[in-house]
Amino acid sequence: MRTLLVKIKYDGRDFCGWQVQDGLRTVQAVFQETLWDVLKEQVPIRGCSRTDSGVHADEFCVSFATRCAIPAQRLPLALNAKLPPDIAAFACEEVPEGFHARYDCRGKQYRYLIWNAPLRDPFWRDRALWYQYPLDAAFMDAQARHYLGTHDFSAFCSAGSDVIGKVRTVTQCGVRRLPDQPDMIEFTVTADGFLYNMVRIMVGTLLQTAAGRLPPDAIPEILASRDRNRAGATAAACGLYLHRVLYEDKE
């Protein structure tokens, strides 16, 4: 037996998230079926996270133990020959026995894309949030810095979450206009963990602050309140990407 870690990316538009759900097309179900077909054995797979319906991934990690002798570097090619066009494997490596893609993860980085132009762009449909009114990216970046550090993010967690501890440490957070696409605003955030809809609520709060519906520098008070009703609306899933998965020896 050996344990492998496969990195995949996917366009989440036609998926109902990662996790298997009866009667629905999910990334886990499609990838698992393809993997089993390639390995010629049914093995339990472990995903690094749970992404919601419509959310995308630039990097999503899956671990599993297998008896298959296919070299790790050749497995992505074998998988991509059978995977649908909206999922692709791009790396594979052998990892220590017992490695778990989720529980050995020490942090993740998400990005959120906002198409900020008066006219919509059909090529970014369901791949970025269209926000037609002017946004000051520098102002949003300054506001985003309030998320840095260790805080109780209860105000940035959707109802229905069964997580008890809501303290998370944000190590990187920022907003910028992409140099090669000035109409595209990118929000990035790196933390040791994320709550349900946390990134989307962070973005929604920044947008409402930028629009003047929340006062400048309101985020520290919202954090301290631990009250979901004080934060902004949950931004649409279409702009959210799991961008990077961090492990102890893979920075």
Q: Which helix (H) or strand (E) holds 77?
A: helix 75-80
Of 39, 81, 200, the C-alpha closest to 62 is 39
Cα torsion 192, 197, 203, 206: sign: negative
Q: Is 86 a catalytic residue?
A: no
Of residues 11, 52, 121, 183, which has the active-site annotation?
Answer: 52
> Measured at the alpha carbon of residue 102, what is the angle toward residues 99 and 105, in degrees to the nearest 5?
80
Burial class (CB in 10 A: 0-12, 13-18, 19+), 244: middle
* Strand extents, DSSP E, the chain: 2-10, 46-47, 56-66, 87-95, 105-115, 129-130, 149-152, 167-178, 181-191, 240-247
Residues acting as catalytic residues: 52
